Amino acid sequence: MTSNLVRRRFDKRRRKCQLSFDELHRRLIGSDSLETIAKDAGISGARLTYLYKSLFMPTLGLPSPRRRAKDIRAKRRAMALAVPFRDESLERVRRRLEAGGHSVESTFCDENGGMPRRRHKRRLKVDGKLCSWHRMFNSKEGRKTASPRYSTTTMSRLTLEKTKFVLLDIAPPRCKPMILKVPSKALRREFFSGSRHHQVHIYVPLDRIPDNPRFPFLDYII
């Protein structure tokens, strides 16, 4: 009875809408946005929003346009996260660490305490411990003659406070790739203790251990 009443009201107000009541209802309970449905129906978004709010919401119990859009985004995120995640850099790190008996997992970005919206590009879990992941593909010459080459990256105090380890994924051209797993506590103590800096640039030797190194990075190769 209710649907028949809504159908009659829709027929009076449809104007230039190219979709029938049943077609529009089927689309509205689906996962298409109101903008997409309006375009397919040949009417403006404002007109479809009016029809939705005046007819479909109060009589058929559909959510508000804002709530509907939020639910659709949540469904699409869930579908995206259900797809197996493939990343060449991650797979290379995973193979290297698993060969040494370590487990590797990708992590997710939690925003406002809600469900994970996307995979975190710079953090991994190694052996269940949260690690910041630095991909270091650059190579710089030392200042002095016969000095070792270095690869550099930027490290922040906040990142070290939030993670247990720092994973340095070092693979510059024409250099032997290596992965370092360094305790965040040791780096925080060496580079931030007694200073007010929020970020520092670190230099990891590529060729050999330099004389009097500030920090023994190469002791943490895995």
pLDDT digits (tens, 9 = 90+) for 114-140: 455 556 678 888 888 999 999 999 988
Q: Which of 79, 109, 134 is the last residue of a domain?
A: 79
Say which CATH number the domain at 197 has.
3.40.1350
Number of domains, the chain: 2
Q: Please say which residue of 62, 79, 96 terminates a domain.
A: 79
Strands (E), the chain: 104-110, 116-126, 129-136, 150-156, 165-170, 178-183, 199-205
What are the tens digits of pLDDT across the range 64-109?
A: 999 999 988 888 777 766 665 667 778 888 888 888 888 888 786 6
Residues 201, 150, single domain; the answer is yes
Both 40 and 23 in a single domain? yes
Q: Is there a single domain that holds both residue 49 and residue 117? A: no
* Cα–Cα dist 210/148, whole Å: 7
Residue 104 and residue 181 share a domain: yes
Q: Give yes or no: residues 58 and 113 share one domain.
A: no
The torsion region of residue 96 among left (phi > 0), alpha (psi -120 to 50) and beta comes to alpha
Tell me: do 168 and 92 sit in the same domain: yes
Do 30 and 135 belong to one domain? Answer: no
Last residue of a domain, one of 56, 79, 102: 79
Q: What is the mean pLDDT of residues 168-182?
A: 89
Tokens of residue 108, six digits: 């997710």
- 172 vs 35: CA distance, rounded Å: 47
What are the tens digits of pLDDT across the range 144-161?
A: 655 678 899 999 999 999
* Its pTM surpasses 0.75: no
| Same domain, yes or no: 92 and 51 | no
- Structural domain including 156 reads 88-220
The whole-number pLDDT of residue 161 equals 93
